[in-house]
A and B are shown apart, each in its own frame.
Chain A
Amino acid sequence: MFNLVPLVIALPIAGLLVNLALGKRLRGPQAGIVATLAAGLAFAVAVLLLIALQAEPEGAVVSLGNWITIGSFQVAWAFRVDTLSVTMMLVVTGVGTLIHAYSIGYMQGDARFARFFVYLNLFLAAMLLLVTADNFLLLFVGWEGVGLCSFLLIGFWFDKSGGEGWRNSNAARKAMIANRIGDAGLLLAMFALFWAFGSLNFADVFGTAEKSLAVGAPLATLITLLLLLGVTGKSAQIPLFVWLPDAMAGPTPASALIHAATMVTAGVYLIVRAAPLFTLAPFTQDVVAVVGTCTALLAASIAVGQFDIKRVLAYSTISQLGFMVAAVGLGAYTAGMFHLVTHAFFKALLFMAAGSVIHGVAHGAHTAKFDAQDMRHMGGLRGRMPVTFWTYLAGALALAGLPPLAGFFSKDEILTAAFEHRPVIYVLLTITAFLTAFYIARQAFLVFFGRGRSDAAHHAHDSGRIMLVPLIVLAALSVVGGALNLPGQHTLGGWLEHTTHEAEAGVFNATVAGISTVLALLGILLAYWRYGRQPAGERDPLQSALFTALNRRWWVDELYERLFIGPYNTLSRLIATFDKTAVDGAGLALGRATERVAEAVRRTQTGQLNWNVAGIVAGLAILLLIVAIGRGV
């Protein structure tokens, strides 16, 4: 049964090929149905793999043969089926299928409907390649593939009018560049791995590393730090997180799939996958934990000050990714993966609910110049969009971490791990949890409660069934998802243990759980006090310097502009001048010289037979002469 694993990747590819070939001929939602079917079938295969794993939890490696052989360097088309990869496959294909179905409604009537689904399927294929790869190079192919799809989908509406198209394509470019910096780190890590271990196979690398490297070996630290750089790019951590908020320029289903549920968690997956290396580098683990914690806190604080409905969620995603990264930095791999799964449920849900809201409000708008994503224009949507509201509420409460919803259990496991190992991190993450409850409650009150603050909000209506059903499914998962790894049972922990070999099972700490629940309730109360009682006006009631700082995102983008982009542009201009004069001049001169030589050589092709035969005879004579001289005759 394990041999089915290539199908998981092949099915989305088949889907995209069909849409690529027939896209222009398919009518209405057909392209979307094809793509959704492909994703659903991939999910079915993942379920089959899950069943197979129950019997043989150690899993297997399925190899389709060699890909590249150069001397001792060998890379195979090899896919790994183990508890970790199957968990990721289930999340990617499961949530992915729901989002595909949702997109049929959301993208209805778009000029490039079929193309959107081609990108979505391509993304699934790349993401599944990433999580099933059995070596770093194949993983890197998937890693780059998802990056490409992210770029394509962020800039999907590159041709919108009024400067918006430019903004979209700039956002796509920003994501590409930030990711590229991280990718360079991953590439360097792979070079170092090959240099040190002579292989890129997971089993070879980890086996050799555990045997030959002591804990704290500089080589392990170097490699893991480089890997971390890759993680900060893909998973939007400090310092490379700035691309993710801008990425919201893409269509909302893409944001839900790529920038909330799956791709951005690839970094977390990478750390869990490379856990044997990270275990050898305690210093890096500390760095990982600190990066994750700081990102979580910083992003949560920024989310408090945003008005764009999707931007709040974007910063929330960064913050939650920080939680996961902090968890794996603390060595709590199960907790990190647990949160990854539940977060995939409720954040995809929140994004899709937000998409439904935007969809509804935009349809209610009558003026052309209207920002359908600004929460200041919303309010009171509870009654107008009931299904969206109730599903959104389930996701919001799960994110806030209220028991017994999914987010409560997974977040709590991270907090407990921090509580036991690093008190400082525990304190910072608990503050973050409080901020989380506050900003998501703020959003809920601004969007759904009070009275509508615009014409559009008054005329909004709920979305169609194809969009609401996925919302309901995800809402159910957000409510009961915690059952995956209940305290005392540790289903997921025991399951992942076959791959991660994590000794320590997460424990339930009543104090930690109590404090976080109380703080979450406090956060919601505070939000109610600020935003819930009276309709918020044109401007936010918090008119302090602090709020401005939050609203302007702590000026991180501006800082990067000054620190890196400005000087880089100056340098580029300098080099460009040099290039245009000196380098181009030399190049042109060389080119002209080559052409002149070519013209001369062309003359030897006279087309005269005598001359040709003379060439043969001359060649013979010269060679014979060389032989004679060589023999000393």
Chain B
Amino acid sequence: MNTVIPVSLIVLPLVSSPLTYFAGRLLPRQTALARTISLLALLGAWLVFALVVRDYTAPVEFRLEGIVFRVDGLSLLFAALALALGTLAVIFSGPYMAGKTGEEKYYALLLALTGTMIGLACAADLFNLWVWFEAMVVASYLLVVFYREKSASLEAAVKYLVQSAVGSVLVVLGIALVLAQTGALDLDAIRAAGTSPLLLVAGVLFLIGFGVKIAIVPLHTWLPDAYSQSPSPVSAVLSGVVTKAGLIALLRALAALAGFTLSWSAALMLFGVLNIFTGNLLALRQRELKRLLAYSSMSQIGYILFGLGVGLYVGESSGLQGGLFHLLNHGLMKGLAFFCAGALLYAAGRINGNEHALKIDDLSGAARRYPLLALALTLALLSLGGVPPLAGFMSKWQIFVAGVGTGESLITLLVIVAALNSVLSLAYYLPVINVLFRETPSALIERGRTLPLAIIIPIIVLAAALLLVGLWPDALTWLTQPASAGLLAAFGG
């Protein structure tokens, strides 16, 4: 394959990012132009993506000034998710962020975030993995603190920054250990090098370091503030993609160390179930919609971890595929849920930094005035709760089937716990749906504005996708199958 093509997948959004900024900055009142440029850049990236997928047969390696990239199944899967939510977020942000101070920065940052995430997914050595990861965190940090004059935003951002930094330090320590022990940084080369107990410690450092971004319990404490205080489209991207970037980085790093004794898969399964349970408990008493969604992300991440753990444990691709499938689905469901929350905030005209102000009671009677929105949010929540025939059910089911298929009683027990937790999660999803369909509209709904098309389109797209994937689960197999096979090979299964 011509290397120009995969290179431009990363380069295109990154180069367009400053372009967007300058376009918005230098030409007065030209934020629409900035938005158009970013949309065009993303559409161009889609085109490149389609070309790459068309010619993809085996992992492709290419160099850019001495930096090695490798495009494999996992890269493609993650690039697809990042592009999908990035594009929808840009569309959604049109009316949502209109007239905010620094609007041009916002689009530039969104593009940078998307580009760095694709770069992360293609990094082929440990050090560049970390660099891309840090670049991504910086971009996302600026987006979280976008309402910089609001104290709640600042608080959320400071927590996010400090905790990310702590994780980052641990990752660098881990990389240093690996380099000292093996003398290599390329992921494949590390795998080939000898064993040493210190590499185990490096693995632990990676698990904790990247785990902060994944929001593994007890490293999750930054998450509810960051998700609920960001502008809603950013929440959608954060929850739908950025969190998963940590997971991709962790999987890459651990795969390099997979030859050693500690079973990473057991750790993933245990943390998975812990995340599911803790996330559910935290969400249960939540009265703020975006915070509730944030906590529910923790528990959904748990399902992904669990599925991946099961797959790695038995060395079979079905669990991995289920985990990756859920990763994609969670991007769709949670993206949709946050977009819906954003749409309600927009309707209320309350988007000036008070993102957390949307109480669940404010949703009362939304179905009367915004039937489409209420339907979409209902679909998203039911899918999150794992109700058939929606996407979330299919991937959860695949994970559970893989878990029971291992034939180990301990894993079966964990599956039962996870399945019961699905029921528990309905205890906070269903009341929200109930409120949506109440008879008497809340003050917010009653005075709500009409929603512009740019806000409705991403919602319809994602809701349709949830239904489609639920009815036709094989629709995403072309992404999950090569990714899981590649992961399995990387872990030496």
Contact = CB atoms under 8 A, between A and B. Distances in A.
Interface residues of A, number: 35
Contacts of A598: 281-282, 284-285
B224 A605 contact: yes
A305 B201 CA distance: 88
Q: Dominant SS at the A interface?
A: helix
Interface stretch (B240-248, B434-442, B470-478): B470-478
A616 interface: yes
Nearest to B208: A620
A541 interface: no
A619 B281 contact: no
A627 B201 contact: yes
A68 B170 CA distance: 43
Tier of interface size on chain B:
35 or more
A68 B474 CA distance: 6
Given A69-B474, A605-B224, A615-B221, A620 B205 contact: yes
Interface stretch (A97-105, A422-430, A606-614): A606-614
B401 interface: yes
B473 A68 contact: yes
Given A605-B221, A620-B204, A594 B424 contact: yes
Contacts of A67: 472-474
B326 to A, nearest CB: 15
Contacts of A627: 200-201, 204, 262
Given A65-B474, A67-B472, A623-B207, A609 B158 contact: yes
Contacts of A595: 284-285
Contacts of B212: 616
Contact of B208 (A597, A619, A630): A619
B219 A619 contact: yes
B398 interface: yes
A607 B228 CA distance: 13
Nearest to B223: A605
A597 B474 contact: no
Nearest to A69: B474
B218 interface: yes
B265 interface: no
B318 interface: yes
A547 to B, nearest CB: 51
A283 to B, nearest CB: 36
Contact of A601 (B211, B222, B281): B281
B72 interface: no
Contacts of A609: 158-159, 162-163
A633 B162 CA distance: 33
Contacts of B211: 619
Contacts of A605: 221, 224, 282
B278 A601 contact: yes
A71 interface: yes
B197 interface: yes
Interface string A575-599: 0000000000000000100110111
A597 B201 contact: no
Given A65-B474, A631-B197, A631-B200, A620 B218 contact: no
A82 to B, nearest CB: 25
B2 interface: no
Contacts of A616: 163, 166-167, 170, 208, 212, 218-219
Interface string B214-247: 0010110110110000000000000000000000
A613 B285 contact: no
Contacts of A469: none
A55 interface: no
A595 B158 CA distance: 30
A594 B405 CA distance: 30
Contacts of B262: 627, 630
A624 B318 CA distance: 30
Interface string B193-212: 00001001100110110011
B285 A602 contact: yes
A633 B197 CA distance: 10
Nearest to A601: B281
B261 interface: yes
Contacts of A569: none
A70 B394 CA distance: 10
A595 B281 CA distance: 8
5 contacts: A77-B472, A598-B284, A605-B282, A612-B162, A620-B208
Given A602-B285, A613-B166, A619-B218, 16 more contacts: A65-B474, A68-B474, A69-B474, A70-B401, A594-B424, A607-B155, A615-B219, A615-B221, A616-B170, A618-B218, A619-B211, A623-B207, A627-B201, A630-B262, A631-B200, A633-B197
